[in-house]
Structure 1
């Protein structure tokens, strides 16, 4: 788990000074004096902002833009989450919201874009990005993060009893006015040349040692037509199944096992579950005309109707299907009675079968 963040190339800071960010140089949209105090940004007076030198990072001056009324530094904020870790960022911004401040949408760093290029198709040119970063991992055993946000709900790393605090990692709002606009909440992809041995689109980690999320993913009521869509395993072909969904569990020996759900061959296929499918509650429902099959052979279909229930005493006890009765040249009363008894036993056996088939719903009125 990362405890450091990727460097923040804060484009919003650039208009304060020249390209080098050195106090005293006029920027394209901002001016400042040699004392480092920002006089204006894009023609708007900002006397409460100060550009402060906090030392040197490798090859690039480290600076941060700080609100003149702030009582904390970036290091103060970060130390509250991870004590003992020193910052070494290219650019920093800190926002200190005072007690009782009722303003909305206060931001430490923000980007604003208006695009009128007219060249953006489904995958086109002329696209615009409010905040952008690029990371190059140029040496073995190095790691890079495109973005990393750390949120803490306390001023120190200690258990607290604070109330009414809300921590939201990312909120993406889309105010769409045209039904013809293509909307994508989050898109992950790339232009790779090699297939990585380990590549996961989304990874849910713990909130801490033994501390869990209530749900790894939750689609709220009425918010989506489909909660999840798993596409085909390949982009084209014949008899290609869907991308499978894997479910893992520990068996009685503590060994992790994996079951798989996949659409293939016209079926929803469950595999890797040695005990098969189990329903803890509820019923299995089939629409009319559908049946249960084993190896492609029908074994159970819909109810056969037109049956009138039999009467009498069913026999689910012992039954000798091999019983025979020896008959003499002249029938005796005992022989006829034995045949009658066997016929009665057969009738009772048939009634038992009928009753059970009716109870299972395979036959009925």
Structure 2
């Protein structure tokens, strides 16, 4: 008899690969200007400073050993101090948990906070990494739209008034991926008040908050409620390869995450956590470094938005480039950006169609563009190539 193939888990049937990761495979040609990836610029990463911190860490063999599941204690202390300053209250070390990037925090939180069929509310358009996690957890996902002030908290309030009871609400509050907008201070307070009144968690996903260009991001949603679990990361300000993310959450959430992390990977890397601790604790150096990244990204973002508006005029509506890594654009002339993509790639430019971020369809006339890895002249050329691909016809 021929062998019978063992089955895979049924939950895989409803999952799809990230459209962005798949697209990156098509943009490795040297002649393609990629606006598709969500990558920080490797040229701006502090390689020499990372190397020096690595040498310091390697002077002690402890960096080669397993470390605590919640993270290397000195790193957690550094993060607690940074988050205390950000939130305006004392954050105990026990409420700081280090993860393998903030994406792992999302994955572990989904296991801790969700039972199959539980309701999760997300923003629309949505961060695709979050959608992958929540779908794998078997959640029921309901979308709330964005506007220029971030999540439409009034729509969320209407859902709650109709009897919906989410396990949690997920928001990318600062310089949204993909939407490029930032939640207003008033909506942050309103969201926190709803969480307290109705007893649900808010996961405030904030990997971009330090990448502001003209003025700092508003106070975190976590400032206003202890029902907010705050995520952040060193990936965008130092290097993704360090894989250092963190979570600030009540102790009972951290302990639940710890149990699951022990089963997933035991612990993170003591080496990279020691490197990150040294860099994040060096406030004078870090401030200067992040300022240089902000300056570079700010100039690139403004160049991209200016080129798009100048080239397409009223046929395009772009978000303002206030921070983060992305610009969201809607074409007003009916351009189908999914259909356009093959022609754009042929012209030597890549982007992510808006439909990749839709929770239940839509955004066929939208695109997400990342400005971090090209200079102003290259970004202007990318918009010219996009126009040649047929947007202006």
Fold-level match, TM-score > 0.5? no
Q: TM-score, normalised by structure 1?
A: 0.20
Task: Report which of the two has the higher share of helix.
Answer: 2
Q: TM-score, normalised by structure 2?
A: 0.19
